[in-house]
Chain A
Amino acid sequence: MAAVCDACRSMNLRVGIDTVAVAAVREALAAHGDRYLERVYTAREIADCAGAEGPDPERLAARFAAKEAALKALRAGDGGVPWSAVEVRREPGGHTEMALSGPAAALAERAGISGLAVSLTHEAGLASAVVVAAVLEESARRTDTGSNAPESL
């Protein structure tokens, strides 16, 4: 039987996934320009997506997919979380990290989410993202049951 470490045993995972058509992002840029960018993406994301001819629709589409995937992992439901509250950051070396703010950060805190991991891809006109959230077991139990059980049982 495989051994399970204590840290793994005390953690639940949530996953979210989403796909966006790059053409839809290109269309939104053409129709709404900077208003689209400013309502959906953070300044850092816009900078990360800069290309020779303006923001790269493929990179933007991947980030939108990541935002939606994160909202699924957070189980945001009908909570009124602005897209800019979920940020994808390209780090030195090329990998991406997620940062939450405002209502998204509050959701994560209430759910006991200790971290998010994200992976992006784009191919053949589609961009996709997968987000995995690590949830501490006690927090997951409280979220699932809605109870006010004490931390230690």
Chain B
Amino acid sequence: MTDHIRRILADHARLNVDPGGLAESDDLYQSGMTSHASVQVMLALEDEFDVEFPDAMLTRSVFESIASMAAAIAQLVGSEVAA
């Protein structure tokens, strides 16, 4: 999953570093991701993983790292499977 997220970051996040070199816990906002870029990342993640982020998950902390996004997607995929 993290490889997909890194590719989406490369395409949409407008970071000032190569996403391939980021640790999973690195703060993406410290690497130049803006709030607007996080919208594009969110929409691309929804396309990639066929999920929809609910309003309650539209928080800075969900999109602040590769690890936090992976955890959110796992939660969304899990909740859809459970439903």
Contact = CB atoms under 8 A, between A and B. Distances in A.
Contacts of A32: 40, 43-44
A20 B34 contact: yes
A82 to B, nearest CB: 4
A31 B40 contact: yes
Contact of A36 (B35, B39, B58, B59): B39
A81 interface: yes
Given A24-B14, A80-B56, A103-B55, A31 B44 contact: yes
B52 to A, nearest CB: 9
A18 B35 contact: yes
A39 B56 CA distance: 13
Interface in A8-60: 18, 20-21, 24-25, 27-28, 31-32, 35-36, 39-40
B58 A31 contact: no
B36 A24 contact: yes
A30 to B, nearest CB: 10
Contacts of A36: 39-40, 43
Contact of A78 (B34, B55, B60): B60
Interface bracket on A: 20 to 34
A35 B55 CA distance: 15
Chain B contact residues, majority secondary structure: helix
Interface in B18-48: 34-37, 39-40, 42-44, 46
Contact of B57 (A39, A68, A80): A80
Contact of A83 (B14, B37, B39, B60): B39
Contacts of B60: 77-78
A105 to B, nearest CB: 13
Interface of B: 12, 14, 34-37, 39-40, 42-44, 46, 55-61
Interface of A: 18, 20-21, 24-25, 27-28, 31-32, 35-36, 39-40, 61, 64, 68, 77-83, 102-103
